[in-house]
Amino acid sequence: MAAVAVAVGGAVVVGLSGSPLWGAVRAALVLAVGALVAGVLRRAAVRPAGWSAVGVGALVLPAAGVIAGGHLVGGAVLRGGAALVASLGALVLLVLGTVWLLRAAHGWWRLLALPVAVVVVQLVWAPLGQAVLVTNREPAALGDATPADHGLAAEDVTLTTSDGIDLAAWWVPPENGAAVLLLHGSGSTRTATLDHAEVLAAAGFGVLMVDARGHGASDGTAMDLGWHGARDLAAAVTWLADRPDVEEGRIGAVGLSMGGEEALTLAGEDPRVRAVVGDGVGIRVAGDVPSPAPFEDAINRLTYAVTDLLTAASPPRPLREVVAGLAAEQRVLLVAAAGEGDQAAWYAAAAPGRVEVWDVPDVAHTRALDEHPQEWATRVVGFLEDALAG
């Protein structure tokens, strides 16, 4: 019964993803694997049955549990409920399989249970859980706030990516011939950038606020590490470059958290982006971790390798490598909140003289504008005016 719960719940979850045909194929495969596992559990000896139950439970529980939590909170009752059924079935398999194996073991072999459990948590649950979390999220709702609430006269814009995904955006035209691409963080939408847009527009900059793929009103599947970012945002840069009210060489990007990481990668691939402000830039691939211990590095690489298997996006280059490869005319300002100063300094060291760091240790992640509005406006606007002087 536990194996059937895993199979049926898993089939519903994968069947609701992607096109109807591909979803049906994946659902059929999950059901077939579930039937195979159920057969093994019914007919095999204790040890093979135990290892089968533990293996399936250990793999399915973290993945299904993460999906259930995220989708139920996001309002996707059918998919979240199916994932919950699968996770409960996986938990039963894990517990029963462990009991069977312990009963079949003799003497000191039972002492291996604890180290095996530690290995499972470190090498299976942590990497798989994080990978599933960042690749299987319900889209964040756009919210009720609008540019008009902030005194901004904005127009709706639709940008189409190279693979045909439509991204929703708001556009506030410039008064000084320069434009800024404004990018939100993971699990958020362009409404979270309206306060920033108000400051930038007051300084005369054109502001293009974009919902990332799978966020807000944009199409596609969300990927909370922003691996789609550079490819998707190339369409936004081209749209800005083609506008008659945006002068050549006067395009910048301001990003919060995931958006800052996307902006840096975009600048590394598109020299038309002359200036980047990254507020809360963090870690999104194993190469972004400075001087990791060997075991930590192995876990990180495993985590991002599993993530790569679960998303259509390709892993981007490490951000320090991106910063080191920026063109001479491109400049970067990194805003580092509490606990982010060392990471920002490590990135900045890759391009001395072209990357500035504003260390704000008394504020939370991406909250510099909220806590220090005047200084944020002075530093960020001043940096952009200088970098995009034309």
Q: What is the tens place of the pLDDT at every residue in 259-290?
A: 999 999 999 999 999 999 999 999 999 999 99
Q: Give residue 27's pLDDT band: very low, low, confident or very high (50, 70, 90).
A: confident
Does 108 have pLDDT greater than 80? Answer: no
3-class secondary structure, 166: strand
Please state which of the four CATH numbers 3.20.20.70, 3.40.50.300, 3.40.640.10, 3.40.50.1820 is assigned to the domain occupying 147-387: 3.40.50.1820
Helices and strands in the chain: count of H runs, count of E runs = 15, 8
Can you tell me the distance from the alpha carbon of 140 to that of 143, in angstroms, rounded to the nearest whole number? 9
- What is the phi-psi region of residue 366: left when phi exceeds 0, alpha when psi lies from -120 to 50, beta otherwise? left
Measured CA to CA, the distance from residue 57 to residue 63 in angstroms comes to 10
pTM above 0.95, yes or no: no
Give the highest mean pLDDT range of 3-17, 119-133, 256-270: 256-270
Q: Using the Cα atoms of residue 227, residue 232, residue 238 and residue 240 in order, give the sign of their dihedral.
A: negative
According to the model, what pLDDT value does residue 114 have? 63
SS3 351: coil
Domain boundaries, the chain: 2-135, 147-387
256 pLDDT above the threshold of 90:
yes
Predicted pLDDT of residue 113: 66
**pLDDT for 24:** 85
Q: Are 146 and 198 in contact (CB under 8 A)?
A: no
Q: Are 260 and 279 spatial neighbours (Cβ–Cβ below 8 Å)?
A: yes
Q: Is the pLDDT of residue 115 over 90?
A: no
